[in-house]
Amino acid sequence: MSPLQMPSVAVIGLGYIGLPTAAVLASAGAKVVGVDVKQSTVDAVNAGELPFVEPDLGTVLAGAVSMGTLVATTVVPRSDAYIIAVPTPFGESHVPDLSHVTTAARDIAARLEGGELVILESTSPPGATELVARTVLDERADLTDEPGRPNSVYFAHCPERVLPGRIIIELRTNDRIIGSLNGDAGERARDLYQLFCEGEMLLTDARTAELAKLTENAYRDVNIAFANELSVIADQLDVDVWELIELSNHHPRVNILQPGPGVGGHCIAVDPWFIVSAAPESSRMIRSAREINDAKPQYVLDKVVPRARRYKEPRIAVLGLAFKPDIDDLRESPAMLIADRLAGLVPEGDIMAVEPHIEELPHVLAAHGNVRLTHFEDAMRAADIVLLLVDHTIFKNADPSTLTEGVIVDTRGAWRAVPAATP
């Protein structure tokens, strides 16, 4: 495509997905306007600076901003295509909250002239793309979703499936599911994503695309729940779960994932609830998996707290706060939840939180008064109890037997000699 034929694209929501998508589209030459409600995010992006940590994103962003193909603003502009990448949290009783999506749809509606493509990228429950279309058309009686007319608007759902820490590479190489709601919306979306994505473009309808994304994360959640349930069973039967899984995984058709202190992050712990909420009677296994994984932090506490209470003033090293290894992301982290509850349950304890990827203790932990951010070696030297919650490489490479004489609770199997299965 020549620069003159390049589409203009507005990306609504400059978070973990919207910003990288805007940056790779702009570096491919599209004229991109990133939109966010937060002025500080808009200012950072316009200065070519990253509002959060993600490998390689800084370079792509700075390049696009200096080329002039990416600018950020708080107001939705007129564009050929719109990508909605706003948060879709769940509210009371795990019911999805689509208010950010409908607000974005209304903002977009005000700019449409006919002929545009509106893509929903946010992870969404089945029917959300239809909701976007309905919201737009309710606002604008002069537009239609009947294809082929000058006043037609085209709607599609293209869920993101990138792994935090590998977003830029996976945006460019992962296959994309593209769900069309009307006319040739799918083909139009495919042409847009092909500007930066070398993966296969898998065209389907919008509902299937919505459910496919949720299915992927629910599948992983169910598999982790199996490992977590197994770890509790093995404990009861006095069997080493890590050895058990390692041995079972030698079977050619068995690949059990790794147990841990629970499931964190903003995706796997959230998305399965969207399926449960859409089909509550039929989602028995998916719901149980969520409950099993959500119960794991309390199981860990039930192991640690009685041990801590044997000491007058227990010194407890809590290793790791992030939601998974070698990242700084604390969102929905089971390790954070455990550290927070532990500090409350053992008020006389000295809780030494070790998280090499952050510089300041999160407010929720600092507020306890008995939690301090501590260097790994210092915490190991001083601890009566060592509670390993995240298998950061720095922890895995240490030899715990030389570091402490206290009690070790290793929730990740990081200090086992037996190599673990690939998670």
Distance (Å, rounded) from C-alpha 256 to C-alpha 246? Answer: 8
Q: Is 164 in the site for ligand SAJ (CB under 6 A)?
A: yes
Inter-CA distances, 306 with 50, 295, 300, 342, 404, Å: 44, 18, 11, 11, 19
Three-class secondary structure of residue 285 per DSSP: helix
Q: Which two tokens stand for residue 347?
A: 């008020």
Nearer to ligand SAJ, 291 or 405 (CB): 291
Q: Is 343 in the site for ligand SAJ (CB under 6 A)?
A: no
List the one residue from 14, 32, 158, 267 that touches ligand SAJ (CB under 6 A). Answer: 267
Helix (H) or strand (E) holding 31: strand 31-35
Nearer to ligand SAJ, 183 or 325 (CB): 325
Distance (Å, rounded) from C-alpha 136 to C-alpha 153? Answer: 9
- The active-site residue, picked from 31, 158, 197, 213, is 213
CB of 335 to ligand SAJ, least distance (A): 9
Part in contact with ligand SAJ (CB under 6 A); list of ranges 129-137, 213-221, 299-307, 339-347: 213-221
| Interstrand relation of 81-84 and 176-180 (parallel, antiparallel or unpaired) | unpaired
Q: Which residues, numbered 318-337, are part of the site for ligand SAJ (CB under 6 A)?
A: 323-324
CB of 390 to ligand SAJ, least distance (A): 7
CB of 67 to ligand SAJ, least distance (A): 27
- The active-site residue, picked from 31, 158, 197, 267, is 267
Which has the closest alpha carbon to 390: 327, 315, 345, 332? 327
Residue 62 CB neighbours (<10 A): 17
Q: Are 38 and 86 in contact (CB under 8 A)?
A: no
List the one residue from 258, 283, 374, 411 that touches ligand SAJ (CB under 6 A). Answer: 258
List the one residue from 31, 140, 176, 220 that touches ligand SAJ (CB under 6 A). Answer: 220
Distance (Å, rounded) from C-alpha 47 to C-alpha 65? Answer: 8
Nearer to ligand SAJ, 403 or 420 (CB): 420
List the one residue from 67, 163, 239, 285 that touches ligand SAJ (CB under 6 A). Answer: 163
Specify whether 303 is catalytic: no
CB of 160 to ligand SAJ, least distance (A): 6
Specify whether 213 is catalytic: yes
Distance (Å, rounded) from C-alpha 172 to C-alpha 155? Answer: 23
Q: Are 376 and 356 in contact (CB under 8 A)?
A: yes
Active site residues: 213, 267
Residues that bind ligand SAJ (CB under 6 A): 123, 160-164, 216-217, 220, 224, 257-258, 260, 263-265, 267-268, 323-324, 423
